[in-house]
Amino acid sequence: MTTHGFALTAEGLFDFGASLRFVEDWPATSALPSDGQALRFAYCAESDWLPIGVTVTAAPGGVAVATTRAAGPRIRDEVARTLSLDVDGTGFAELGEADPVLGDLQRRSPGLRPVCFWSPWEAACWAVIVQRSSMLIAARLKQRIAERYGAKVIVDGRAYSAFPPPVTLLEAGGLGLPAQKEEWLRGLARAALDGVLTTEHLRALGPEEALAELRALPGVGPFSAGLILIRGAGAPDAFPGDEPRLFAILREVYGLPEDAPPAAYRRLSEEWRPYRSWASFLFRASTYGVMDDRKRTPH
């Protein structure tokens, strides 16, 4: 099979090995086959909603990417966003110098950048599927939908199921989810087809405006809106307005009181501009084991 290749260069510190370790430990992607050397996946490209297979490996100064079909600038941008290589990260280390707590996380996993969903559309679907469910169960349900309704793409000799595009999910029969969730997913499919759930649209808005627009979508609350904007569209400088898990981590490491209001967390995050999303990601990633030194093997 013919493959097409291109390179992505990182501006600022970046460690592809750290990204791989996160993918292996994050429940949403832990089922992806891994050999510790490459990230392989299939998805429906946001630029045309057609399936594409991707292989990413380490390269000097960034990564090398091979795709199963020709990759124009928009697909290159999508792959770059997945690994947060579309953002100049040269100033991120300076935040850790000013904030010793954040600096400790940066030293424990140097070069780890946010790893995003393949598209805001997939992030939105995940946000609905995972509600009132464990991430491991949600991952299985999402994979089941991909295998039933998604295209099969051969990546390096192995078949990968791409999560179906909005139009397919809109027309699909039963998805094996509660009726309310299926209704929400179809509402999200309509929003994606209208151009609302796209990286270009969401990143063109200010973070607060984008979060407000996302909260107006079916089944999307404050937590889900933050997930879609930060881990779907890859917005580098947004702070979720209501994320209990993140707030619990911040309370512990910064010694905030149990009854600290949301405004206290927002004030804390102001020190992380213009990388509020990146800093928040590191705190969440610290709970997945990706920063365990025993996993720090060279790639």
pLDDT at site 57: 97
Strand order, beta sheet including 38-44: 4-9, 62-67, 51-59, 38-44
pLDDT at site 58: 97
3-class state of residue 67 by DSSP: strand
pLDDT at site 296: 38
For the segment 123-141, the average pLDDT, to the nearest whole number, is 93
Identify the helix (H) or strand (E) that includes residue 153: strand 152-155
Q: Are 19 and 112 in contact (CB under 8 A)?
A: yes
pTM above 0.75, yes or no: yes
**pLDDT for 52-93, tens place per residue?**
999 999 999 999 999 999 989 999 999 999 999 999 999 999
Instruction: Estimate the share of the chain in helix, then strand, then coil, as percent rounded to the nearest 5.
Output: 50, 10, 40
For the segment 119-146, the average pLDDT, to the nearest whole number, is 94
pLDDT at site 2: 67
Q: Are 160 and 41 in contact (CB under 8 A)?
A: yes
Is it the case that residue 178 has pLDDT exceeding 80?
A: yes
Q: At what angle do helices 276-285 and 100-108 cross, to 10 degrees?
A: 60
Q: Are 117 and 41 in contact (CB under 8 A)?
A: no
pLDDT at site 295: 41
pLDDT at site 294: 37
Is it the case that residue 240 has pLDDT exceeding 90?
A: no
Q: What sign does the dihedral 277-140-121-62 (CA atoms) show? A: positive
pLDDT at site 298: 33
pLDDT at site 105: 94
For the segment 241-267, the average pLDDT, to the nearest whole number, is 92
Q: How far is CA 173 from CA 60, 110, 183, 194, in A?
A: 46, 45, 11, 21
Is it the case that residue 165 has pLDDT exceeding 60?
A: yes
pLDDT at site 297: 36
**Nearest residue to 28 (alpha-carbon basis) of 211, 232, 199:** 232
pLDDT at site 9: 97
User: 74-111 in b/e burial notation, b at 16+ Cβ within 10 A?
Assistant: ebbbbbbbbbbbbbebeebbebbeebeebeebbebbeb
**pLDDT for 3-36, tens place per residue?**
799 999 999 999 999 999 999 888 888 778 888 8
Is it the case that residue 173 has pLDDT exceeding 60?
A: yes
Is it the case that residue 1 has pLDDT exceeding 80?
A: no
**pLDDT for 266-299, tens place per residue?**
999 999 999 999 999 999 998 876 555 434 333 3
Residue 159's DSSP bridge partners are: 154
CA 85, CA 172: separation in Å to the nearest integer?
34
- Domains of the chain (ranges plus CATH)? 4-240+271-291 (1.10.340.30)
Identify the helix (H) or strand (E) that includes residue 155: strand 152-155
State the Cα angle at 206 between 200 and 166, rounded to 5°: 35
User: 46-71 in b/e burial notation, b at 16+ Cβ within 10 A?
Assistant: bbebebbbbbbebeeebbbbbbbbeb
Is it the case that residue 114 has pLDDT exceeding 50?
A: yes
| Least confident piece of the model among 44-48, 216-220, 288-292, 295-299 | 295-299
